Amino acid sequence: MSVTLHHLIDNNRAWAAQMERERPGFFEKLSHQQSPKYLWIGCSDSRVPANEITGLDPGEVFVHRNVANVVVHSDLNALSVIQYAVDMLKVEHIMVVGHYGCGGVLATLRGARVGLVDNWLRHVHDVKLRHRRRLDHLPVAVQEDVLCEMNVIEQVGNVALSNVMQDAWLRGQKVSVHGWCYGLKDGLVKDLGVSMQGPHEVVKVFRNALKRYPRGSSVSGGL
Protein backbone atom coordinates (compact mmCIF):
# COMPACT_ATOMS: atom_id res chain seq x y z
CA MET A 1 0.00 0.00 0.00
CA SER A 2 1.36 3.40 -0.98
CA VAL A 3 1.96 5.88 1.84
CA THR A 4 1.76 8.87 -0.50
CA LEU A 5 -1.28 10.48 -2.05
CA HIS A 6 0.32 11.85 -5.18
CA HIS A 7 -2.43 10.36 -7.34
CA LEU A 8 -5.00 12.50 -5.54
CA ILE A 9 -2.88 15.62 -5.95
CA ASP A 10 -2.50 14.78 -9.64
CA ASN A 11 -6.29 14.40 -9.88
CA ASN A 12 -6.71 17.78 -8.22
CA ARG A 13 -4.37 19.51 -10.65
CA ALA A 14 -6.11 17.94 -13.61
CA TRP A 15 -9.51 19.00 -12.26
CA ALA A 16 -8.37 22.57 -11.57
CA ALA A 17 -6.86 22.86 -15.04
CA GLN A 18 -10.04 21.54 -16.65
CA MET A 19 -12.21 23.98 -14.68
CA GLU A 20 -9.99 26.90 -15.68
CA ARG A 21 -10.11 25.87 -19.34
CA GLU A 22 -13.87 25.49 -19.34
CA ARG A 23 -14.63 28.50 -17.14
CA PRO A 24 -11.77 31.01 -17.17
CA GLY A 25 -11.57 33.03 -13.95
CA PHE A 26 -13.71 30.57 -11.99
CA PHE A 27 -11.33 30.19 -9.05
CA GLU A 28 -10.46 33.87 -8.91
CA LYS A 29 -14.13 34.74 -8.61
CA LEU A 30 -14.76 31.95 -6.11
CA SER A 31 -11.91 33.10 -3.87
CA HIS A 32 -13.54 36.46 -3.16
CA GLN A 33 -16.83 35.26 -1.71
CA GLN A 34 -19.24 32.41 -1.14
CA SER A 35 -22.94 33.12 -1.49
CA PRO A 36 -24.73 29.76 -1.45
CA LYS A 37 -28.50 29.63 -1.42
CA TYR A 38 -28.52 26.14 0.05
CA LEU A 39 -27.41 24.36 3.21
CA TRP A 40 -27.12 20.58 2.84
CA ILE A 41 -27.26 18.56 6.07
CA GLY A 42 -26.42 15.02 5.09
CA CYS A 43 -24.81 11.75 6.02
CA SER A 44 -21.03 11.25 6.08
CA ASP A 45 -21.41 8.33 3.66
CA SER A 46 -18.86 8.72 0.85
CA ARG A 47 -21.47 7.70 -1.74
CA VAL A 48 -23.64 10.76 -1.12
CA PRO A 49 -21.80 13.83 -2.48
CA ALA A 50 -23.90 16.98 -2.15
CA ASN A 51 -22.56 18.97 -5.11
CA GLU A 52 -22.68 16.14 -7.61
CA ILE A 53 -26.16 14.98 -6.62
CA THR A 54 -27.63 18.46 -6.97
CA GLY A 55 -25.54 19.55 -9.95
CA LEU A 56 -24.16 22.54 -8.04
CA ASP A 57 -20.70 24.07 -8.36
CA PRO A 58 -18.27 24.75 -5.52
CA GLY A 59 -19.54 27.79 -3.64
CA GLU A 60 -23.20 27.07 -4.36
CA VAL A 61 -24.03 24.77 -1.44
CA PHE A 62 -22.90 24.97 2.19
CA VAL A 63 -22.46 21.47 3.63
CA HIS A 64 -22.65 19.80 7.03
CA ARG A 65 -22.35 16.02 7.32
CA ASN A 66 -22.37 13.49 10.12
CA VAL A 67 -23.26 9.84 10.63
CA ALA A 68 -26.96 9.33 9.80
CA ASN A 69 -27.65 13.05 9.14
CA VAL A 70 -28.68 13.73 12.73
CA VAL A 71 -29.53 17.20 14.08
CA VAL A 72 -29.96 17.46 17.84
CA HIS A 73 -30.10 20.50 20.09
CA SER A 74 -27.03 19.39 22.06
CA ASP A 75 -24.80 19.29 18.95
CA LEU A 76 -23.12 22.68 18.89
CA ASN A 77 -21.27 21.74 15.71
CA ALA A 78 -24.46 21.29 13.69
CA LEU A 79 -26.18 24.27 15.30
CA SER A 80 -23.17 26.50 14.61
CA VAL A 81 -23.25 25.48 10.95
CA ILE A 82 -26.97 26.22 10.74
CA GLN A 83 -26.56 29.59 12.44
CA TYR A 84 -23.68 30.62 10.19
CA ALA A 85 -25.59 29.52 7.10
CA VAL A 86 -28.79 31.31 8.12
CA ASP A 87 -27.47 34.43 9.86
CA MET A 88 -24.31 35.13 7.88
CA LEU A 89 -24.67 33.47 4.47
CA LYS A 90 -28.43 34.09 4.29
CA VAL A 91 -29.19 30.72 2.71
CA GLU A 92 -32.73 30.36 1.43
CA HIS A 93 -33.11 26.59 1.75
CA ILE A 94 -31.93 23.96 4.21
CA MET A 95 -32.11 20.37 3.00
CA VAL A 96 -31.82 17.50 5.46
CA VAL A 97 -30.80 14.61 3.22
CA GLY A 98 -30.77 10.98 4.27
CA HIS A 99 -30.18 8.01 2.03
CA TYR A 100 -31.57 4.54 1.69
CA GLY A 101 -29.18 1.87 2.93
CA CYS A 102 -27.69 4.22 5.54
CA GLY A 103 -25.28 2.19 7.65
CA GLY A 104 -26.13 4.08 10.83
CA VAL A 105 -29.85 3.55 10.40
CA LEU A 106 -29.40 -0.13 9.53
CA ALA A 107 -27.17 -0.70 12.58
CA THR A 108 -29.85 0.88 14.75
CA LEU A 109 -32.63 -1.21 13.24
CA ARG A 110 -30.66 -4.45 13.57
CA GLY A 111 -29.33 -3.74 17.05
CA ALA A 112 -25.75 -4.05 15.82
CA ARG A 113 -22.87 -2.78 17.95
CA VAL A 114 -20.52 -0.54 16.02
CA GLY A 115 -18.38 1.10 18.71
CA LEU A 116 -18.17 4.67 19.93
CA VAL A 117 -20.66 5.76 17.28
CA ASP A 118 -23.33 3.69 19.10
CA ASN A 119 -23.70 6.65 21.46
CA TRP A 120 -24.40 8.97 18.54
CA LEU A 121 -26.84 6.51 17.00
CA ARG A 122 -28.92 6.60 20.17
CA HIS A 123 -30.65 9.55 18.50
CA VAL A 124 -31.74 7.31 15.63
CA HIS A 125 -32.68 4.61 18.13
CA ASP A 126 -34.99 7.13 19.79
CA VAL A 127 -36.68 7.70 16.43
CA LYS A 128 -37.14 3.96 16.03
CA LEU A 129 -38.67 3.60 19.49
CA ARG A 130 -40.93 6.60 19.06
CA HIS A 131 -42.38 5.21 15.85
CA ARG A 132 -42.20 1.48 16.57
CA ARG A 133 -45.90 1.01 15.87
CA ARG A 134 -45.33 2.33 12.37
CA LEU A 135 -42.32 0.06 11.84
CA ASP A 136 -42.67 -3.29 13.59
CA HIS A 137 -45.44 -4.70 11.38
CA LEU A 138 -43.51 -4.04 8.16
CA PRO A 139 -41.23 -6.47 6.30
CA VAL A 140 -37.58 -5.93 7.22
CA ALA A 141 -36.60 -4.43 3.86
CA VAL A 142 -39.46 -1.95 4.09
CA GLN A 143 -38.58 -1.12 7.70
CA GLU A 144 -35.10 -0.13 6.57
CA ASP A 145 -36.37 2.35 3.99
CA VAL A 146 -39.11 3.71 6.24
CA LEU A 147 -36.74 4.32 9.15
CA CYS A 148 -34.37 6.17 6.82
CA GLU A 149 -37.27 8.42 5.82
CA MET A 150 -38.60 8.84 9.36
CA ASN A 151 -35.16 9.79 10.58
CA VAL A 152 -35.03 12.57 7.99
CA ILE A 153 -38.49 13.78 8.98
CA GLU A 154 -37.49 13.91 12.65
CA GLN A 155 -34.31 15.84 11.86
CA VAL A 156 -36.24 18.32 9.72
CA GLY A 157 -38.42 18.94 12.74
CA ASN A 158 -35.35 19.44 14.92
CA VAL A 159 -33.93 21.98 12.50
CA ALA A 160 -37.24 23.84 12.30
CA LEU A 161 -37.59 23.95 16.09
CA SER A 162 -34.04 25.16 16.69
CA ASN A 163 -33.67 28.65 18.11
CA VAL A 164 -31.74 29.64 14.98
CA MET A 165 -34.68 28.91 12.69
CA GLN A 166 -37.29 30.18 15.10
CA ASP A 167 -35.45 33.50 15.44
CA ALA A 168 -34.92 33.77 11.69
CA TRP A 169 -38.61 33.24 10.98
CA LEU A 170 -39.57 35.65 13.76
CA ARG A 171 -37.62 38.44 12.11
CA GLY A 172 -39.21 37.62 8.75
CA GLN A 173 -36.25 35.97 7.06
CA LYS A 174 -37.24 33.84 4.09
CA VAL A 175 -35.66 30.45 4.64
CA SER A 176 -37.24 27.03 4.17
CA VAL A 177 -36.43 23.57 5.51
CA HIS A 178 -36.83 20.45 3.38
CA GLY A 179 -36.43 16.69 3.81
CA TRP A 180 -35.05 14.41 1.10
CA CYS A 181 -33.94 10.80 0.83
CA TYR A 182 -31.35 9.77 -1.75
CA GLY A 183 -31.34 6.43 -3.52
CA LEU A 184 -27.94 4.78 -3.84
CA LYS A 185 -29.33 2.33 -6.40
CA ASP A 186 -30.64 4.90 -8.87
CA GLY A 187 -29.03 8.22 -7.90
CA LEU A 188 -32.40 9.90 -7.46
CA VAL A 189 -33.61 12.12 -4.64
CA LYS A 190 -37.06 11.62 -3.12
CA ASP A 191 -38.77 14.69 -1.69
CA LEU A 192 -40.43 13.56 1.55
CA GLY A 193 -42.95 16.38 1.47
CA VAL A 194 -41.95 18.03 4.73
CA SER A 195 -40.98 21.49 3.49
CA MET A 196 -41.57 24.24 6.05
CA GLN A 197 -41.43 27.99 5.53
CA GLY A 198 -42.46 29.26 8.96
CA PRO A 199 -43.12 28.24 12.57
CA HIS A 200 -46.86 27.93 11.99
CA GLU A 201 -46.28 25.05 9.55
CA VAL A 202 -44.08 22.80 11.68
CA VAL A 203 -46.65 20.75 13.60
CA LYS A 204 -49.06 20.40 10.67
CA VAL A 205 -46.38 19.31 8.21
CA PHE A 206 -44.89 16.87 10.71
CA ARG A 207 -48.24 15.24 11.47
CA ASN A 208 -49.22 14.99 7.82
CA ALA A 209 -45.90 13.35 7.01
CA LEU A 210 -46.37 10.66 9.64
CA LYS A 211 -49.82 9.80 8.29
CA ARG A 212 -48.06 8.20 5.32
CA TYR A 213 -46.79 5.48 7.67
CA PRO A 214 -49.85 3.71 9.18
CA ARG A 215 -49.56 2.13 12.60
CA GLY A 216 -49.74 -1.60 13.06
CA SER A 217 -52.25 -3.01 15.55
CA SER A 218 -50.15 -5.54 17.43
CA VAL A 219 -47.80 -3.28 19.39
CA SER A 220 -48.81 -0.82 22.07
CA GLY A 221 -47.19 2.54 22.63
CA GLY A 222 -45.36 4.83 20.23
CA LEU A 223 -46.75 7.56 18.02
Could you confirm whether 181 is annotated as catalytic? no
Could you confirm whether 43 is annotated as catalytic? yes
If asked whether residues 127 and 199 sit together in one domain, one would say: yes
Q: How far apart are CA 159 and CA 166, in angstroms?
A: 9
Q: How far apart are CA 41 and CA 65, in angstroms?
A: 6
If asked whether residues 159 and 171 sit together in one domain, one would say: yes
Q: Tell me the per-residue pLDDT of 80-89, one tens digit each, with 9 for 90 and over.
A: 999 999 999 9
Q: Reply yes or no on whether the pLDDT at 21 is more than 60.
A: yes
Amino acid 223: pLDDT: 55
Amino acid 124: pLDDT: 97
Active-site option among 45, 131, 133, 181: 45
Total number of domains in the chain:
2
If asked whether residues 169 and 203 sit together in one domain, one would say: yes
What's the whole-number average pLDDT of the chain?
94
If asked whether residues 28 and 85 sit together in one domain, one would say: no
- Domain-embedded: residue 223: no
Sign of CA dihedral 69, 70, 75, 76: positive
- Domain-embedded: residue 219: no
Active-site option among 13, 47, 73, 207: 47
- Domain-embedded: residue 142: yes
**Would you place residue 219 in the very low, low, confident or very high pLDDT band (cuts 50, 70, 90)?**
very low
If asked whether residues 70 and 9 sit together in one domain, one would say: no
The answer to whether residues 64 and 146 touch, using CB atoms and an 8 Å cutoff, is no
Q: What is the CATH number of the domain that holds 103?
A: 3.40.1050.10
If asked whether residues 26 and 38 sit together in one domain, one would say: no
**Average pLDDT estimate for 99-118:** 95
If asked whether residues 26 and 43 sit together in one domain, one would say: no
Say if pTM beats, i.e. exceeds, 0.85.
yes
Active-site option among 93, 102, 123, 133: 102
If asked whether residues 104 and 7 sit together in one domain, one would say: no
**Average pLDDT estimate for 187-200:** 97
Beta bridge partners of 191: 180
If asked whether residues 77 and 146 sit together in one domain, one would say: yes
Percent of the chain with pLDDT over 90: 92
Q: Reply yes or no on whether the pLDDT at 185 is more than 80.
A: yes
If asked whether residues 3 and 52 sit together in one domain, one would say: no
Could you confirm whether 191 is annotated as catalytic? no
- Domain-embedded: residue 150: yes
**What domain range includes position 19?**
1-32
Could you confirm whether 148 is annotated as catalytic? no
- Domain-embedded: residue 215: no
- Domain-embedded: residue 95: yes
The answer to whether residues 148 and 155 touch, using CB atoms and an 8 Å cutoff, is no
